[in-house]
C-alpha cells in the first residue's frame, strides 16, 4: 500500500522564526523527527509539506528549507505560504515560488482574517493568479467561515480548493464528545456542492486536544463523506500539531499511526477505497506524478 500524507508540517525554530510556537511544539520537528514517526506496515510513504506559518518575511526561506530536506523526508510536493491580498507584491511572491518545482499550491491562512476577507477584490485577484499558474489553494478556516470558502469557490471556479481539517468543527473531548452541529454539516454540504473543492480528513485529533475515540470522530468523517463523496477526501496527519496531548502538555508518540488507523478502519467500514483516501485523491488534487 502506498500512502500520501496530504498535510505534513515540519519546522526548525533554530533556523526560522515562528511567533506561534509554544509548549511542546516549540522545538525542532524536521526530517529526522518525522522519520521516527513513519507509518508501520506501509511499503511506500510520501507527503505534502504544508507551510507552518513562519513570520511573513521568511515564507520564501521556509520553502527553500523544506525543498532542501524534501528527499530525506519523503516530501513530494510543497504548499507554500503566500499573502494573496497584496496585489503586485503577491504576483512577485508567486513568481518567486514558481522557481521551486515541488511547489504545487499555496496557503494564505484565513482562520485569523476578518469576515469577508477572502471575498475582497485584492484577495480574489491573488486567488486568480494562483489558478492561472495551475496551483491549488489550501483553505484553513474556522467552522463559521465555511460559507466564505464556498463563496470563494463560486467566485473563482477554476481554482482547486481543499478544506483543511474539515473546517475545524467543535468535536468535544474523548470524555465529553460533541455531536456534529447541524450548521457545520449544512455548510459542509454547501461547500461540497462545488466540484473543484476537496476535503482533508485531518486535524480532528488537535480539535480534541490530542486524545480521541473512534466513536467520537466517525460522525464527522461521515459528514465529510456525505458532503464530498469518496473521490474528494484525502487523509492528512497534521503532524506534529495533531500529535500533542494537550492535557499533559507533551508530544504523543505514535498518534500519527493511530490517526491513520482510525481513518483506515472507518473507510473500510464504509466500503470506501483506502487507496483513494490515502493516495489517489491527493495525487489527483495536487497533480503529483
The mean pLDDT value of the chain amounts to 97
What is the side-by-side strand order in the sheet with 44-50? 2-8, 44-50, 75-81, 103-107, 136-139, 161-163, 197-201, 233-235
**DSSP β-ladder status, 250-251 and 244-245:** antiparallel
Confidence category of residue 289, pLDDT binned at 50, 70, 90: confident
Range of the domain at 169: 2-283
Domain count across the chain: 1
Instruction: Note whether residue 288 is domain-resident.
Output: no
For residues 181-189, give the mean pLDDT.
98
Confidence category of residue 246, pLDDT binned at 50, 70, 90: confident
Instruction: Note whether residue 104 is domain-resident.
Output: yes
Instruction: Note whether residue 277 is domain-resident.
Output: yes
Instruction: Note whether residue 289 is domain-resident.
Output: no
Residue 149 sits in a domain whose CATH number is 3.20.20.140
pLDDT by residue (tens digit) across 26-50? Answer: 999 999 999 999 999 999 999 999 9
Instruction: Note whether residue 102 is domain-resident.
Output: yes
pTM beyond 0.95: the answer is: yes
Amino acid at each position: 500500500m502506498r500512502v500520501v500524507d496530504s498535510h505534513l508540517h515540519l519546522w526548525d525554530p533554530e533556523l526560522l522564526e515562528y511567533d506561534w510556537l509554544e509548549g511542546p511544539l516549540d522545538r525542532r520537528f524536521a526530517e529526522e523527527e518525522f522519520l521516527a514517526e513513519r507509518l508501520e506496515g506501509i511499503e511506500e510513504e510520501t507527503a505534502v509539506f504544508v507551510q507552518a506559518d513562519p513570520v511573513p518575511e521568511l515564507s520564501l526561506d521556509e520553502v527553500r528549507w523544506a525543498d532542501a530536506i524534501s528527499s530525506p523526508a519523503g516530501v513530494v510536493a510543497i504548499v507554500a505560504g503566500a499573502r494573496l491580498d497584496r496585489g503586485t507584491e503577491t504576483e512577485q511572491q508567486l513568481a518567486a515560488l514558481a522557481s521551486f518545482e515541488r511547489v504545487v499550491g499555496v496557503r494564505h491562512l484565513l482562520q485569523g482574517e476578518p469576515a469577508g476577507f477572502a471575498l475582497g477584490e485584492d484577495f480574489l485577484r491573488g486567488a486568480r493568479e494562483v489558478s492561472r499558474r495551475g496551483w491549488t489553494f489550501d483553505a484553513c478556516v474556522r467552522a463559521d467561515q465555511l460559507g466564505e470558502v464556498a463563496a470563494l469557490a463560486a467566485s473563482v471556479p477554476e481554482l482547486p480548493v481543499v478544506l483543511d481539517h474539515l473546517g475545524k468543527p467543535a468535536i468535544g473531548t474523548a470524555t465529553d464528545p460533541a455531536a456534529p452541529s447541524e450548521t457545520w454539516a449544512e455548510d459542509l454540504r454547501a461547500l461540497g456542492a462545488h466540484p473543484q473543492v476537496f476535503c482533508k480528513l485531518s486535524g480532528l485529533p488537535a480539535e480534541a486536544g490530542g486524545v480521541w475515540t473512534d466513536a467520537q470522530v466517525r460522525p464527522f468523517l461521515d459528514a465529510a463523506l456525505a458532503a464530498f463523496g469518496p473521490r474528494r477526501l484525502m487523509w492528512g496527519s497534521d503532524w506534529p500539531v495533531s500529535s500533542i496531548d494537550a492535557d499533559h502538555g507533551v508530544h504523543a508518540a505514535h498518534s500519527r499511526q493511530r490517526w491513520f488507523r482510525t481513518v483506515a478502519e472507518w473507510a473500510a467500514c464504509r466500503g470506501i477505497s483506502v487507496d483513494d483516501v490515502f493516495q489517489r485523491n491527493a495525487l489527483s488534487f495536487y497533480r503529483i506524478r
